[in-house]
Amino acid sequence: MNTELNAEAPAALECAGLRKSFAQGSAREVRAVDDLSLTVRSGETVALLGPSGCGKTTTLRLIAGFEWPDMGRVVIAGREVVGAGAFLPPERRRVGMVFQDYALFPHLTVADNVAYGLENSTVGRWTPALRRPLAALRGRFRFGSAAAAAIDARVQEALELVALPHVAGRFPHELSGGEAQRVALARALAPGPALLLLDEPFSNLDAPLRASVRSEVREILRRASTASIFVTHDQEEAFAIADRVAVQLRGRIEQVGSPVEIYHRPATRSVAAFVGEADFLPGTLTSDGVETEIGRIPIEDDSGAAAGSVDVMLRPERVQLAAAGATGPGHGQAVVERREFYGHDQLVTLRLDSGARIRARLGPDADFPPGRRASVFATGAGIVYPPLSGAQGPVLGE
Amino acid sequence: MLLPLIYLIIRALDADAAAWSALGDASSLRLVLRTALLALAVAGASLVLALPMAWLTVRTDLPLRRLWSVLAIVPLVIPSYVGAVAFIAAFGPRGTLQEILSPLGVDTVPQIYGFPGAFLALTLFSYPYLLLVLRAGLRGIDPALEDASRSLGMGSWRTFFRVTVPQLRVPITAGSLLVALYVVSDFGAVSLLRTDTLTRAIFIQYQTSFDRAAAAVLGLELVGLVALILVLEWLYRRRGRFHGAGPGTPGPPRLLRLGRWRWPALAFLAVIVLVALGVPVGVLLHWLVRGLQAGEPFAGAWGAALNSAWVSAVAGLVAVVVAIPVAIVAVRKPSPLAALVERVGYTGFALPGIVVALSLVFFGLRVVPAVYQSWVLLVFAYLVLFFPLALGGIRTSLVQIRPGIEEAARSLGGSPGRVLATITIPLLVPGLVSGFALVFLTAMKELPATLLLAPIGFDTLATEVWSASSEAFFARAAAPALILILVAALPLALLVAREHRVER
């Protein structure tokens, strides 16, 4: 992680109390972003993870300057871009953005696309579309000598960063999906932005390509050492790329932390249910763990829950099965309801004798067909949450 | 854009009591009734022609189906007054038919002038509007519905009438109203064929009497009739929503085998195409050749073509330049005000050319005499009438540019002005070109506005056809009329070419 290296530098981004509603004042008012605060340290990659409609794209657009917040402030690299009365337009924020559909300019070559953000202070700024015909006329067109050479060099450098120097002369429609993705990245990085925003950057790629592009992008971001935020609804993607993950649910950020923290110590029930598979079993919290139907489960030290009635969250991979009737400390009895076989593993859904449902992730060789009885026990520690008010039975996670 | 309508109302209010009371008298009522009857009759006859044509060209194994689809639509490009001229030259006194028949001892031919003539000519040149709508409607029907009907034991004829036709209710009403609107606003054909409808009465009132306020009153009557048709159309469209196609993409339509029925079907199509396309073009070519043999000078036609071209080009340019900001604001920054401005931009669609022209004559005489009798007023009339074409073309292009493209340019540091100049406008070029072309080509054809507003001595193709044919100099009308048909055919050719490119 780069975060410790750059502890001294100013944060790349600070958002405080951001709020944005749509259809304000009407009955259909939607609070897309609700009292959102987030800090991205210099050189760090943060994933903004949430289900569709949770306001994560709106958050990105507020930071980029395509939406006006109702409230709150945004500071990029120490400069306030949105605050009390201040609003810096997107072109002056030094924020690079990679769009979901890449948004490459279809009438410009790859090189001209990448050069677009570099030409703001040169003679050529109004004429990228004219440059090619002019170049054809003169054989070789140079607008402004030194400045032009610098731009050409920077374009070359940016395309080399994404390992695509050979496509400079092509048009966007002549690129494959993965190439277009990397060109969009090069274009956003070329002007040296203080912060890079990526909106669902891999959703337009098909599954086999996605994994390889993902690791390439991770490598490019690391080499460019530009602070970045990327929005995704895919937890696997978020965990694989990000230094830190911010989980956004219903407009609010519920938890920020490393992928390991988010997965193993979700701050709230909703985060637990959204990130990975989670089942909740009712139990009683005592000084040495939680007493449940499948035995006593130790809890993480820092749970900080009050003794008494609680729900304990279990990930399926922490639930194990044994042959029916096996008894011992921590064995509950259950019947197998359903089995989903994935090849490298399988997910077995069980109904405990109390009626509660719980899932277990087992190796490919375990044989627990539906209808068979089994003994259930947990390994490792659980996380406890206060029980849902009014809820009688246990809750099956999403 | 609203100026002509507002000024027309102002002028009509000036009219004396007599002009207003004339609104209710018998002759005025007859005029309105005759106009409405003509519209109704043409719409009905167009439906009778277009429905089987649409079905034959879309849903059967008719031989040379593609060719017939194109030929059946092409009469659309013949301006109604050019078609009327061709009919008069063919069937009128001293016309081609009489020439052919006179050696056989036949001296009189059936009267082409009057209501039946106008009905025939307008039907033959406006059914293609309905045909276009019906073809699209037939294509949109999910063939699975017909399969379902067949599987429930219905024969193909009963399926056609009980499943297919009911689903065409919306295209049928929308298309018929379109035809009715066209007939009510038509000036050229009814005037040349001497049928008294509102448009012709307005023109005669304007030309012959000093009381031009009475013409304004008639003009308002015409606007009222158009408004009535638009309201009817709107009502039907609203109800139509409940009858829209179901979800799911329609598969390719099943083609019905015609068997021996294909011969009558071919004959039916051939007769219509012959009368609507073959007769006008053939007769005009015939007169052109005769004129050339008789040493008819064609310098006039070229001068008129040049005049038509540059006035229309100016109108096209102005329309495009004005339409760019209107389209951008309407699409990118929607607000009630932007929507209102855009709506107002479309009024030209609803105002008949003669009404706009009449109103601008008043306006020019009273308010800005400096531009009266100059091409500026003519260009303005074209702008009012055809601005929607430019706006529509540019709007369509703009909607296809994803806003993400412009946002990407902004996030790369482009100022709004730079983004407009380097990204938005270059990407809009196809829309600008098609918007310009449509305004240009439509303005070339426009008759009533040109007739009323062109400066004295400023001949265009349209006025040339008009003056030559109202004096029965068919040989002199032939060249400009043929040029106009070519000009009008261009947008259709471009449209077809583009559809092919899209399909590829």
* Whether the Cβ atoms of residue B316 and residue B383 lie closer than 8 Å to each other: no
Q: What is the largest CA-CA distance in chain B?
A: 84
SS3 call for B473: coil
> pLDDT tens-digit profile of A159-191?
998 889 999 999 998 998 889 989 999 999 998
Residue of A103, A127, A191 with shortest CB distance to B408: A103
Tokens 């760019």 — which residue?
B324
* Whether the Cβ atoms of residue A5 and residue A35 lie closer than 8 Å to each other: no
- Taking CB atoms and an 8 Å cutoff, what residues of chain A touch B431? none
Helices (H), B77-114: 80-91, 96-101
Q: Is B422 on the interface with A (CB under 8 A)?
A: yes
Q: Do A117 and B404 touch (CB under 8 A)?
A: no
CA quadruple A237, A241, A245, A246: dihedral positive or negative?
Answer: negative
**Cβ atoms within 10 Å of B59's Cβ, excluding its own:** 21
Strands A45-49 and A244-249: parallel
DSSP state of A382: B
Q: Do B412 and A191 touch (CB under 8 A)?
A: yes
B393: distance to nearest CA of chain A, Å?
A: 19
Q: Within a 13 Å sphere around the CA of B99, how many CA atoms are in the beta-carbon half?
A: 12
Tokens 């609804």 — which residue?
A233
* Whether the Cβ atoms of residue A247 and residue A49 lie closer than 8 Å to each other: yes
Q: Which amino acid is at A197?
A: L
Specify the pLDDT at position A140: 44
* Whether the Cβ atoms of residue B492 and residue B69 lie closer than 8 Å to each other: no
Measure the CA–CA gap between A48 and B327, rounded to whole angstroms.
36
Measure the CA–CA gap between B25 and B19, rounded to whole angstroms.
10
Q: Do A103 and B412 touch (CB under 8 A)?
A: no
Specify the pLDDT at position A4: 46
Measure the CA–CA gap between B481 and B484, rounded to whole angstroms.
5
* Token duo for residue A302: 């820092």
CA A200 to chain centre: 8
* Whether the Cβ atoms of residue B462 and residue B450 lie closer than 8 Å to each other: yes
**Which of A87, A94, A125, A171 is the best residue to mutate to test the B interface, defined by the most B CB atoms within 10 Å of its own CB?**
A125
Q: Do A103 and B423 touch (CB under 8 A)?
A: no
- Taking CB atoms and an 8 Å cutoff, what residues of chain A touch B426? 107, 129
- Taking CB atoms and an 8 Å cutoff, what residues of chain B touch A96? 411-412
DSSP state of B276: I
Write down the ipTM of this complex.
0.73
Measure the CA–CA gap between B498 and B504, rounded to whole angstroms.
10
- Taking CB atoms and an 8 Å cutoff, what residues of chain B touch A97? 407-408, 411
B422: distance to nearest CA of chain A, Å?
A: 6
Q: Is B405 on the interface with A (CB under 8 A)?
A: yes
Q: Is B411 on the interface with A (CB under 8 A)?
A: yes
* Token duo for residue B12: 């009509």
Mean pLDDT to the nearest integer, A295-321: 81
A367 pLDDT higher than 70: yes
Measure the CA–CA gap between A228 and B160, rounded to whole angstroms.
61
Measure the CA–CA gap between B168 and B186, rounded to whole angstroms.
27
- The pair phi, psi for residue B190, each rounded to 5°, is -65, -35
SS3 call for A59: helix
SS3 call for A295: strand
* Whether the Cβ atoms of residue B318 and residue B379 lie closer than 8 Å to each other: yes
Closest-CA residue of chain A to B423? A105
**Which of B402, B412, B418, B428 is the best residue to mutate to test the A interface, defined by the most A CB atoms within 10 Å of its own CB?**
B412
SS3 call for B120: helix
Residues of chain B short of pLDDT 70, as ranges, are: 1, 15-20, 22-24, 105-109, 143, 150, 153, 210-211, 237-254, 296-300, 491, 494-504
SS3 call for A31: strand
One-character DSSP codes across A79-123:
EEEESSS-B--GGGS-EEEE-TT----TTS-HHHHHHGGGGGGSG
Helices (H), chain A: 56-64, 110-115, 128-138, 146-161, 177-189, 207-224, 235-241, 259-264, 269-274
One-character DSSP codes across A227-278:
EEEEEES-HHHHHHH-SEEEEEETTEEEEEE-HHHHHHS-SSHHHHHHSS--
Measure the CA–CA gap between A351 and A357, rounded to whole angstroms.
5
Specify the pLDDT at position B293: 83
Residue of A64, A120, A197 with shortest CB distance to B414: A120
* DSSP3 helix / strand / coil % (chain B, rounded to 5): 80, 0, 20
* Token duo for residue A390: 């009014």
Residue of B405, B410, B423 with shortest CB distance to A91: B410
Measure the CA–CA gap between B348 and A20, rounded to whole angstroms.
41
Specify the pLDDT at position B238: 65
Residues 6 or more apart whose Cβ sits within 8 Å of residue A363? A345, A346
- Taking CB atoms and an 8 Å cutoff, what residues of chain A touch B404? 99-101, 103
* Token duo for residue B24: 């209710």
H-helix or E-strand spanning residue A37: strand A30-40
A63 pLDDT higher than 90: yes
- Taking CB atoms and an 8 Å cutoff, what residues of chain B touch A90? 407, 410-411
- The pair phi, psi for residue B253, each rounded to 5°, is -70, 145
* A and B: number of Cβ contacts within 8 A: 76
* Whether the Cβ atoms of residue A340 and residue A360 lie closer than 8 Å to each other: no
**Cβ atoms within 10 Å of A382's Cβ, excluding its own:** 24
Mean pLDDT, rounded, of chain A: 83
Q: Do A100 and B404 touch (CB under 8 A)?
A: yes
A10 pLDDT higher than 80: no
Residue of A97, A107, A125 with shortest CB distance to B411: A97
Specify the pLDDT at position A271: 93
Q: Do B411 and A90 touch (CB under 8 A)?
A: yes
* Token duo for residue A148: 């032009």
Q: Which residues pair with A227 in a beta bridge?
A: A195
Q: Is B402 on the interface with A (CB under 8 A)?
A: yes
Q: Do A103 and B414 touch (CB under 8 A)?
A: no
Q: Exposure pattern of B425-459 as b/e (b: 16+ CB <10 Å)? A: ebbbeebbebbbbbbbbbbbbbbbbbbbbbeeebb
Q: Is B247 on the interface with A (CB under 8 A)?
A: no
Cα torsion through A191, A195, A199, A202, rounded to 10: 80
H-helix or E-strand spanning residue B312: helix B299-332
A102: distance to nearest CA of chain B, Å?
A: 8
* Token duo for residue A181: 């993705």
Tokens 């938005």 — which residue?
B424
Measure the CA–CA gap between B416 and B410, rounded to whole angstroms.
7
- Taking CB atoms and an 8 Å cutoff, what residues of chain A touch B430? none
Q: Exposure pattern of B34-58 as b/e (b: 16+ CB <10 Å)? A: bbbebbebbbebbbebbbebbbbbb
One-character DSSP codes across B13-26:
HHS-HHHHHGGGSH
Q: Is B430 on the interface with A (CB under 8 A)?
A: no
A238: distance to nearest CA of chain B, Å?
A: 23
Residue B36: closest CA among B262, B177, B234, B225: B225
Strands A195-199 and A227-232: parallel
* Whether the Cβ atoms of residue A253 and residue A246 lie closer than 8 Å to each other: yes
- Taking CB atoms and an 8 Å cutoff, what residues of chain A touch B423? 105
> Which of A85-89, A92-96, A114-118, B101-105 comes out lowest in average pLDDT?
B101-105
A291 pLDDT higher than 70: yes
Residues 6 or more apart whose Cβ sits within 8 Å of residue A175? A104, A110, A167, A183
SS3 call for A320: strand
Residue A228: closest CA among A187, A185, A259, A258: A185
CA quadruple B106, B107, B110, B112: dihedral positive or negative?
Answer: positive
Measure the CA–CA gap between A73 and B86, rounded to whole angstroms.
73
- Taking CB atoms and an 8 Å cutoff, what residues of chain B touch A126? 418, 421-422
SS3 call for A319: strand
Residue of A90, A100, A105 with shortest CB distance to B423: A105
Measure the CA–CA gap between B139 and B174, rounded to whole angstroms.
16
B427: distance to nearest CA of chain A, Å?
A: 7
DSSP state of A70: S
> pLDDT tens-digit profile of A196-242?
999 988 888 888 888 888 888 888 888 888 899 999 999 988 998 89
* Token duo for residue A266: 């979700």
Specify the pLDDT at position A224: 84
Specify the pLDDT at position B228: 85
- Taking CB atoms and an 8 Å cutoff, what residues of chain B touch A64? 407, 411
- Taking CB atoms and an 8 Å cutoff, what residues of chain B touch A94? 413
pLDDT classification of A393: cutoffs 50, 70, 90: very low
Closest-CA residue of chain B to A190? B412
Closest-CA residue of chain A to B404? A103
* Whether the Cβ atoms of residue B272 and residue B131 lie closer than 8 Å to each other: no
- Taking CB atoms and an 8 Å cutoff, what residues of chain B touch A93? 411
* Token duo for residue B333: 């920054």
CA quadruple B45, B46, B48, B49: dihedral positive or negative?
Answer: positive
Q: Do B422 and A106 touch (CB under 8 A)?
A: no
Residue B57: closest CA among B132, B124, B168: B132
